[in-house]
Amino acid sequence: MNVDIDQDTVDTINAGEASIHEPGLEERIAEHAGDRLHATTDYDAVRETDVTFLALPTPSAEDGRIDTSIMQAGAESLGEALAGKDDHVVVVKSTVVPGTTEDVVAPALERGGFDDATLAMNPEFLREGSAVADFLDPDKVVLGADDDRALEDMHAVFDPLVDHADAPVVETDTRTAEMVKYANNGFLAAKVSLINDIGNICKEYGIDAYEVADAIGLDDRISEQFLRSGVGWGGSCFPKDTSAIISAAKDEGYDPAVLEAAVELNDRQPERLLSLLDDHVDVAGERVAVLGLSFKPGTDDIRNSRAVPVIDGLHDRGADVVAYDPVATEEMAEKRPDVEYAVSAREALEGASGAVVVTDWDEFAALDEEFDAMTEPVVVDGRRIIERRDGITYEGLTW
């Protein structure tokens, strides 16, 4: 049973379709809708269930802290629906700072009228673009619970998945489970920022940062993953979660120096990309193509995409921006009507005096004679997706 207050989302799921672009999701929804999967806007539907997962958004507030208002409203509605029921496990799936399950969600359930909840916390580590595959084959499953009852129920839910995927299970209390999620994302975001820092040094020396990354990745203690340097990280998770844990740490009286540096470095990468373009062409009054708008390939999500500061930087320079993305154009056009959008990379490149690559979509790797349509074939690649070739002036951000 899936409860959502958005009627369109509910209708889409019940029609066997997915409301977001995520490989493999639509097939699964189509297979189970109307059978093992029902969506509704009616919270009372949870009364027929034993366990409820709260998977509500916890967006960034203006000050970088998480905004728990949606979470609280959802928990209050859940509390109203569960009032009078005496046995129910409520699992917080959303990313929340340590203490939120206990100090924010439990009181909200009580305000709704349900004070008999058994609370648990189960952070999610899937990535957009490979969400279904990551969910089905997790590196770990973290079960945060403060009593045996909650732990048993979560085992009942997760054991089939854990057995199937042969995934390790980590049992913790709820606050530790909440922290594990931030530690995971903070570590990965900082890892990418560190390889970007090293990559920027490599570029100064004329060294290929990817060759360096290949070498250091062979050290098991470093690992080869998340060593792709470039224009930086975006999305709904790394930016929001680093801000939230930095703010939460400061609230506790601690300044997290490395995480702050990771964010600062990430904020600088788009400008570094554009300064490489400046080295070759004065873009004022010129047409410049932005290839890629989503924060990473495989998704139409543009939240915190590096394309946004890149577009802003080009506008500041007086350039006419024409952007292209295989799936995220509609999303960006809604947010940024001030940009011209092309229906193909070819169209975006036509008459452009420069091109910048922001997202590593596979189709960009196949671009070739399309560059001939440019007035001035200067290509600055922020994702190492385009091969250096004769006939174009090519700059890699860190190589």
Give the nearer residue to ligand UGA in terms of CB position, either 128 or 331.
Answer: 128
Min dist CB 235 to ligand UGA, Å, is 4
Is residue 45 within 8 A of residue 82, CB to CB? The reply is no
Min dist CB 47 to ligand UGA, Å, is 29
The Cα 25–Cα 11 span in angstroms is: 16
Is residue 64 within 8 A of residue 247, CB to CB? The reply is yes
Min dist CB 287 to ligand UGA, Å, is 26
Give the nearer residue to ligand UGA in terms of CB position, either 235 or 377.
Answer: 235
Burial pattern 59-72, b for ≥16 Cβ within 10 A else e, equals ebeeebbbbbeebb
Surface-to-core class of residue 316, CB atoms within 10 Å of its CB (0-12 exposed, 13-18 middle, 19+ buried): exposed
Which amino acid type is present at position 379?
Answer: V
String of contacts with ligand UGA for each residue 94-113, x by CB under 6 A? -x------------------
The answer to whether 237 is a known catalytic residue is: yes
The Cα 204–Cα 206 span in angstroms is: 6
Does position 238 interact with ligand UGA (CB under 6 A)? The reply is: yes
For CA atoms 112, 176, 140, 146, the dihedral sign is negative
CA dihedral of residues 242, 251, 264, 182 (deg, nearest 10): -20
Does position 237 interact with ligand UGA (CB under 6 A)? The reply is: yes
Binders of ligand UGA: how many residues, by CB under 6 A? 20
Stretch that binds ligand UGA, among 28-36, 99-107, 161-169, 227-235 (CB under 6 A): 227-235
For the chain, give the number of residues: 399
String of contacts with ligand UGA for each residue 178-217, x by CB under 6 A? -------x--x---x-------------------------
Contacting ligand UGA (CB under 6 A), which of 21, 93, 127, 155?
Answer: 127
Which amino acid type is present at position 45?
Answer: A
Min dist CB 212 to ligand UGA, Å, is 13
Does position 126 interact with ligand UGA (CB under 6 A)? The reply is: yes
Q: Is 380 helix (H, G, I), strand (E, B) or coil?
A: strand
- Residue 346 CB partners (closer than 8 Å, separation 6+): 370, 373
- Of 237, 274, 277, 293, the active-site residue reads 237
Give the nearer residue to ligand UGA in terms of CB position, either 85 or 191.
Answer: 191
String of contacts with ligand UGA for each residue 16-55, x by CB under 6 A? ----------------------------------------
Does position 295 interact with ligand UGA (CB under 6 A)? The reply is: yes
* Token pair listed for 136: 């089905």
* Nearest Cα to Cα of residue 135 among 239, 191, 55: 55
Give the nearer residue to ligand UGA in terms of CB position, either 53 or 371.
Answer: 53
Residues annotated as catalytic are: 237
The contact set with ligand UGA (CB under 6 A) reads: 95, 124-128, 185, 188, 192, 226-228, 230, 233-235, 237-238, 295-296
